[in-house]
Structure 1
Amino acid sequence: MAGALTLTITTGSAQAAKNPRHAAIVIDANTGKTLFAESADAKRFPASLTKMMTLYMVFEAMQAGRINKNTKIPFSKYAATRPPTKIGVPAGQTISVEDAIMALITRSANDAAAALGEYLGGSEPRFAQMMTAKARRLGMRSTTFRNASGLPNPNQQTTARDMAILGIALRQHYPQYYGYFGRSSFQFRGRTINGHNRLLGRVEGVDGIKTGYVNASGYNLVTSVNRDGRRIVAVVMGGSSGASRDAAMTRLIQAHLPKATPSRRGSDALLIARNDAPAGPAVAAEPSPLPRAVPLPAERADQPVLVADASGSAGSAQDAISAVIARQKPVPAQQPEMLALAAPTPRPSAPVSSQLVAIPTPKASIPNVDPVTTASANTAASRMGLAPKPVAAVRNEPIAVPQENTRQQQPEQTAVAMAAAADVSGAWAIQIGSLPSENQAQEMLNKAAQQAGSTLRATSPMTETFNKGNNTFYRARFVGFDTKTAAWDACAALKKKNFSCYAIAR
């Protein structure tokens, strides 16, 4: 056993040295003790692990009675046009909450995630704010969400430790729904949709949770194991392939599950206080769609509990599962028109404040959201009956909007955008357009990525805002080019596909 353990740790360290995206952690889900950690608190891109929080929010709404498994979730044009992977529901159609849940767990469907976000939050950006606020309450101090799916966004970041916290919270707060994670396929409109979690049914005791991948993150995996009363939640991030990620996870399970403490009979409710919010009123099989974002229940937490770290000494709750271990007891919100959100910060790179403030839900205005997101507020505007005035795109030329003037006119917005770009490696970027809405910019980026093939495979799409007159525009860019030549070669390939393009030094 000692030899196997040494081999596992050595292999992990070697992997971390070769792969800067690598991170891993194993937590004893019965005690909260950290059994293994490597770069566990380093910032990483969650990719589709984001959908774990989307599902947490769905389960919370189900338990409170605001929705049920038969509630119909409509697909807007925005949701229906999310890039793959997806289940391909056309705009204007609906699916049940249960089908949406299974679409997220098996297919990791971005369109279903966006539809759920719009339904529960009014718009995907607002839902992402709700997700981030929930993350703070759970003790996920290093996580910020920008969308419901995990599609690339430089400001959507997390850590392996935070993902372990979320994995434990899902199982302990919502055991009645956790069984969904153990299903490897489901039937949808006459076809079988198979899942991506290859460890289900192959490694004894594995009962979920979620896989994830985008170019910037590598291959991610959160796994829950329950064997002979021993329970662990393990996270591997930044794998170079799905197979190597799964192999690394299997080694972690083999090495560290035997060190976990078996649960005693009758002592199942441990690390995370069960959600004791009173159940809401009974809901009809198909309730009417929510007119605006669903109010979050106000929550309070007692003092964090000290837990033992991997060395056996007492540490703060953050070392294992942070404020998750705190005895949080949700209570109903006193003002249904108020939405509890994290206090906004001027720059996305700074952590969201743990102080929560009540932000009134506007009745006839578009929610004020961070401009650098991967979602559009147009959906919320259309629901509220506000038709945005059409704004023409500006020419995609460097001279059209001088960077220096933009900084002088909007120093705060420019600083935010540059901070977002700085989070992605590579000294060069390319710009293919400047559009009047972020949705249009994202659509242009998606179209370019689909047509360019391998040319853009190692890059990440991003949007950057700037103001021209009284209008806000969104630059559509791909970042991550190591050399000027590589950037201009990509532009040459895109110009053959009738895209405007020029290279930018970062």
Structure 2
Amino acid sequence: MTSPLRRIAAGLSLLAAAFLLVAALLPGDANAQSPPVKRAAPTGKAKAVRPAAASSWVANPAVDGRDAYIILDAASGRELSSDQPDGLRHPASLTKLMTIYLTFSALDSGRLSLGDGLPVSINALNAPPTKMGLPPGGTVSVRDATMALVTRSANDAAMVLAEALGGDEASFAAMMTSKARQLGMTQTVFRNASGLPNREQVTTARDMARLAFALMRDFPHYYPVFSVQSWPYRGRILENHNRMLGSYEGADGLKTGYTNASGFNLVMSAMRDNRRLIGVVMGGDSAGQRDRMMAMLMDQGFASAATMRLSAWTNVRKPPSARYSSANFDPSLVIPESTPRLAVANAQPLAGFTATAPTPAPQSQAQAGQRVAGPAVPPPAEGSAAPNGPPIGSWVIQVGSFNDPQAAQLALERASSTLVDMRSITAAVDEVQMANKTFHRARLTNLSQAQAVDGCKRLEKKKIYCSAIQVTAWNTPNAR
């Protein structure tokens, strides 16, 4: 007699055979509706399956998108337009604005000098692109490293500065985050000095606008370096990634950024009609699309600011703590290199550095006719002239950039009447073509440094916006 278990087993076998027969007769579309089933490939046709490479990037759940923007009036802080300005975003190379901020601070405090030779570590040499191309086992001057951040957005330069100021990059990132809190950047966290991908490195469009304003407010004497479009280094030219400098009238900084996670970012400032705007665009699909969006938003911002009758921007005065000016970043100047900093392994945090004064220029350099950088602004070079503009080394006072030529002429006449006692002064309105638009700049030329600085002070007392600018080899023609 057959046992109950065997009868059950036999029944299950028949049921399984019936199921397989029905499945074989069903059309393919029906099988496509069911969950996929992995089947072994026939012998001889099997392909080796490589395990997926582990990704180093893990998404931050607090970052819910890439797109965000904000446009602010710099004088009043008035928000002119925005979209998700407080949403967490990845900063990418906008991070370097804070690295530059701390570098400027170290220059003014004496903890760094422009001629200091900073050691190039293995970490800096191994930094992913974009890079400035540092010499293995060598040093790089503070000036070159800073300008490589401004123009090339060099990750190796960011590492060198981080190790010089913080001892190591992690300690420097903690200093960056601490300074962010002091500046009111309440939602920003830094984990490195360059902006290379890190899921915990986050910011907001509003925080980046605050950082841009802090750079203008705290370091007006260095801010013009953000308008430099190229920088020479070891026989190469480091081109600025910020194409808005050459395509948007009045643009004079600040920084671009890109990673896959962040999209294309840009922090920008521009002056028009005596007003300064700060713009931040994050998450662009391409550099061109980001730039077009920024131009549109800034145009709308300037139009809105005009209807609101907001106060004109007044240049921040150079603080007493300033040891250098933007003129000391002129690449035609020879910077005497100070004693190289300690090796990275023995580097101390920022507070451990002492002031180092620039050393005198060697006699051979002076005899060769080379200018030497120091805390004082260099004298104008004689006998040289900028194409289509005032002589190199001379100074100009710009009293505005206007859409309307009559407005430019009126501003120039008002400024000229205020400085009527300056007999050598030349008044001119020049035209600049940018992005299919014509802009009219009101300028007083043929000035010395003392005349330009003193003239600007007198104009500001009359509530006339002005900017004293030295004409140098790297900001001509049409120096802003």
Shorter-chain-normalised TM-score: which range?
0.5 to 0.7
For residues 187 and 268 of structure 1, the distance between their equivalents in structure 2, rounded to whole angstroms, comes to 29
What secondary structure, in the 3-state scheme, does the structure 1 residue paired with 2:296 have? helix
For residues 295 and 58 of structure 1, the distance between their equivalents in structure 2, rounded to whole angstroms, comes to 13
Conservation of the 8 A alpha-carbon contact between 2:284 and 2:290: yes
Match of 1:286 in 2: 338
For residues 216 and 352 of structure 2, the distance between their equivalents in structure 1, rounded to whole angstroms, comes to 20
For residues 65 and 171 of structure 2, the distance between their equivalents in structure 1, rounded to whole angstroms, comes to 32
Match of 1:490 in 2: none
For residues 70 and 276 of structure 1, the distance between their equivalents in structure 2, rounded to whole angstroms, comes to 21
C-alpha displacement of 1:107: 0.9
What secondary structure, in the 3-state scheme, does the structure 1 residue paired with 2:118 have? strand
Task: Give yes or no for the alignment of 1:199 onto 2:251.
Answer: no
For residues 146 and 104 of structure 1, the distance between their equivalents in structure 2, rounded to whole angstroms, comes to 17
C-alpha displacement of 1:264: 4.7
C-alpha displacement of 1:228: 2.1
Larger Rg over CA atoms: 2
C-alpha displacement of 1:268: 3.6
Matches within 5 A, 1:222-237: 222-237=267-282
Task: Give yes or no for the alignment of 1:98 onto 2:143.
Answer: yes
What secondary structure, in the 3-state scheme, does the structure 2 residue paired with 1:26 have? strand
Aligned residues: 274
What secondary structure, in the 3-state scheme, does the structure 2 residue paired with 1:168 have? helix
- Choose from 218, 222, 230 the match for 2:263: 218
For residues 222 and 37 of structure 1, the distance between their equivalents in structure 2, rounded to whole angstroms, comes to 14
> Which amino acid in 2 is paired with 1:289?
R
> Which amino acid in 1 is paired with 2:72?
I
Task: Give yes or no for the alignment of 1:154 onto 2:199.
Answer: yes
For residues 279 and 206 of structure 1, the distance between their equivalents in structure 2, rounded to whole angstroms, comes to 26
For residues 302 and 320 of structure 2, the distance between their equivalents in structure 1, rounded to whole angstroms, comes to 30
Conservation of the 8 A alpha-carbon contact between 1:44 and 1:217: yes
Match of 2:113 in 1: 68
What secondary structure, in the 3-state scheme, does the structure 1 residue paired with 2:301 have? helix
C-alpha displacement of 1:68: 1.8
For residues 111 and 288 of structure 1, the distance between their equivalents in structure 2, rounded to whole angstroms, comes to 18
What secondary structure, in the 3-state scheme, does the structure 2 residue paired with 1:176 have? coil
Distance 1:278 1:93, change over 3 A: closer
Structure 1: which 5+ residue stretches go unaligned? 1-18, 298-331, 333-506
Conservation of the 8 A alpha-carbon contact between 1:106 and 1:195: yes
What secondary structure, in the 3-state scheme, does the structure 1 residue paired with 2:151 have? helix
Distance 1:278 1:167, change over 3 A: closer
C-alpha displacement of 1:259: 2.6
> Which amino acid in 1 is paired with 2:113?
N
C-alpha displacement of 1:229: 1.1
Task: Give yes or no for the alignment of 1:145 onto 2:190.
Answer: yes
For residues 142 and 43 of structure 1, the distance between their equivalents in structure 2, rounded to whole angstroms, comes to 8
Match of 2:86 in 1: 41
Conservation of the 8 A alpha-carbon contact between 2:117 and 2:337: no
1:55-81 alpha-carbon deviations (Å, 9 max, x no partner): 000000011121122111211001110
Match of 1:401 in 2: none
1:113-165 alpha-carbon deviations (Å, 9 max, x no partner): 01100001100000000000000000000000000000000000000000000
Distance 1:285 1:88, change over 3 A: closer
Match of 1:170 in 2: 215
What is the root-mean-square deviation of aligned Cα atoms in Å? 2.5
Conservation of the 8 A alpha-carbon contact between 2:149 and 2:157: yes
For residues 189 and 312 of structure 2, the distance between their equivalents in structure 1, rounded to whole angstroms, comes to 36
For residues 225 and 110 of structure 1, the distance between their equivalents in structure 2, rounded to whole angstroms, comes to 26
Match of 1:59 in 2: 104
Task: Give yes or no for the alignment of 1:295 onto 2:357.
Answer: no
For residues 32 and 264 of structure 1, the distance between their equivalents in structure 2, rounded to whole angstroms, comes to 12
For residues 133 and 172 of structure 1, the distance between their equivalents in structure 2, rounded to whole angstroms, comes to 19
C-alpha displacement of 1:91: 3.1
Percent identity (aligned): 48
For residues 56 and 36 of structure 1, the distance between their equivalents in structure 2, rounded to whole angstroms, comes to 26
Matches within 5 A, 1:70-85: 70-85=115-130
Task: Give yes or no for the alignment of 1:209 onto 2:261.
Answer: no
TM (norm. structure 2) is 0.54
What secondary structure, in the 3-state scheme, does the structure 1 residue paired with 2:201 have? coil
> Which amino acid in 2 is paired with 1:196?
H
For residues 170 and 135 of structure 2, the distance between their equivalents in structure 1, rounded to whole angstroms, comes to 21
Conservation of the 8 A alpha-carbon contact between 1:122 and 1:292: yes
Matches within 5 A, 1:41-440: 41-260=86-305, 263-264=311-312, 267-269=314-316, 285-289=337-341, 291-295=347-351
For residues 107 and 337 of structure 2, the distance between their equivalents in structure 1, rounded to whole angstroms, comes to 12
For residues 250 and 94 of structure 1, the distance between their equivalents in structure 2, rounded to whole angstroms, comes to 39
For residues 116 and 336 of structure 2, the distance between their equivalents in structure 1, rounded to whole angstroms, comes to 9
1:34-57 alpha-carbon deviations (Å, 9 max, x no partner): 111110000000000000000000
For residues 200 and 95 of structure 2, the distance between their equivalents in structure 1, rounded to whole angstroms, comes to 13
Conservation of the 8 A alpha-carbon contact between 1:143 and 1:157: yes
Conservation of the 8 A alpha-carbon contact between 1:186 and 1:192: yes
Conservation of the 8 A alpha-carbon contact between 2:118 and 2:340: no
Conservation of the 8 A alpha-carbon contact between 1:84 and 1:109: yes
For residues 352 and 211 of structure 2, the distance between their equivalents in structure 1, rounded to whole angstroms, comes to 18
Conservation of the 8 A alpha-carbon contact between 1:229 and 1:262: no
For residues 275 and 304 of structure 2, the distance between their equivalents in structure 1, rounded to whole angstroms, comes to 9
What secondary structure, in the 3-state scheme, does the structure 2 residue paired with 1:186 have? strand
For residues 263 and 75 of structure 1, the distance between their equivalents in structure 2, rounded to whole angstroms, comes to 47
C-alpha displacement of 1:201: 2.0
Distance 1:90 1:269, change over 3 A: closer
What secondary structure, in the 3-state scheme, does the structure 1 residue paired with 2:86 have? coil
For residues 196 and 188 of structure 2, the distance between their equivalents in structure 1, rounded to whole angstroms, comes to 15
Conservation of the 8 A alpha-carbon contact between 1:72 and 1:95: yes
1:414-451 alpha-carbon deviations (Å, 9 max, x no partner): xxxxxxxxxxxxxxxxxxxxxxxxxxxxxxxxxxxxxx
C-alpha displacement of 1:258: 2.6
For residues 235 and 174 of structure 1, the distance between their equivalents in structure 2, rounded to whole angstroms, comes to 20
For residues 53 and 278 of structure 1, the distance between their equivalents in structure 2, rounded to whole angstroms, comes to 18
> Which amino acid in 2 is paired with 1:91?
P
Conservation of the 8 A alpha-carbon contact between 1:67 and 1:287: no
1:476-501 alpha-carbon deviations (Å, 9 max, x no partner): xxxxxxxxxxxxxxxxxxxxxxxxxx
What secondary structure, in the 3-state scheme, does the structure 2 residue paired with 1:162 have? helix
Conservation of the 8 A alpha-carbon contact between 1:142 and 1:162: yes
